Amino acid sequence: MPETLTRDQINSQTDPSVANQYNSETPKEKQMQQFFEMVDGKKIGMLSTYRNGVGAVGRSMAVVKRIGPDFLFLANAHSTKFKDLASNKEVQITFQDSKTQDWISISGTATTTSNSDPRIKDVWTQSTRAWFGDLGDGKHTGGPEDPRMTLIEVKSKYITYYLTEVGMLGFAKEVIGAAVTGGVANTGKLRELHEQDIEKARSTQ
């Protein structure tokens, strides 16, 4: 912490662990491209919906397709997440890499489709069947024609992510050094992409 600051001068504008946390120097186009690269390497994330009287409810789900800054998930229409989405379309997707300490958080709005959506056949794979099962009635087969098979499409509104720039040893060195000296660990870049940045990326995809 800078010696020129007194305890009465520390606030959200002067606290070095907060004031300088977001990386604004890197062009937004590069930030978005690095977001794409990061998220494409993390296929399983947490999709959180919001349940009345409970709050955020998360579950692990596989991204079946990224379309620019937006995401598609295959889901069972009978699952409780659809009840959540019927009353609140706002969702959050999060990804965490425990090895690198990278993380991603995406806030957005979800829409759901019926089984008639042709994109289901495009993203369905044989492994999808394992999560639905064949109920043996000739209708609920776990295949793309199964009426339970639907899509959740998330349109991103706000993205924030942390891109680690040091290896495991460098990470430990920064954290230990900061703990000893009273400094602030510098292990990577924290970035945020707002709706206008996302809309620009969406229009170019």
CATH code assigned at 144: 2.30.110.10
Residue 2 lies in a domain: no
pLDDT digits (tens, 9 = 90+) for 65-120: 999 999 999 999 999 999 999 999 999 999 998 888 899 999 999 999 999 999 99
Residue 1 lies in a domain: no
- Two tokens, residue 80: 């409780």
Q: What is the pLDDT of residue 1?
A: 41
Q: What is the pLDDT of residue 99?
A: 83
Q: What is the pLDDT of residue 189?
A: 84
Q: What is the 3-state secondary structure (H, E, C) of the chain?
A: CCCCCCHHHCCCCCCHHHHCCECCCCCHHHHHHHHHHHHHCCCEEEEEEEECCCEEEEEEEECCEEECCEEEEEEECCCCHHHHHHHCCEEEEEEECCCCCCEEEEEEEEEECCCCCCHHHHHCCHHHHHHHCCCCCCCCCCCCCCCCEEEEEEEEEEEEEEEECCCHHHHHHHHHHHHHHCCCCCCEEEEEECHHHHHHHHHHC
Residue 89 lies in a domain: yes
What's the number of domains the chain is made of? 1
Higher pLDDT pick, 21 / 50? 50
β-strands 90-96, 70-76: how paired? unpaired
Q: Is the pTM of this model over 0.85?
A: no
Task: Return phi, psi of residue 195, to 5°.
Answer: -55, -40
Q: What is the pLDDT of residue 2?
A: 46
Residue 34 lies in a domain: yes
pLDDT digits (tens, 9 = 90+) for 144-203: 999 999 999 999 999 999 987 655 554 554 455 555 555 555 656 889 999 999 999 999
**Domain, as residue range, for 187:** 7-204
Q: Which residues contact 35 (CB under 8 A, 6 or more apart)?
A: 69, 104, 159, 161, 191, 193
Residue 187 lies in a domain: yes
Residue 21 lies in a domain: yes
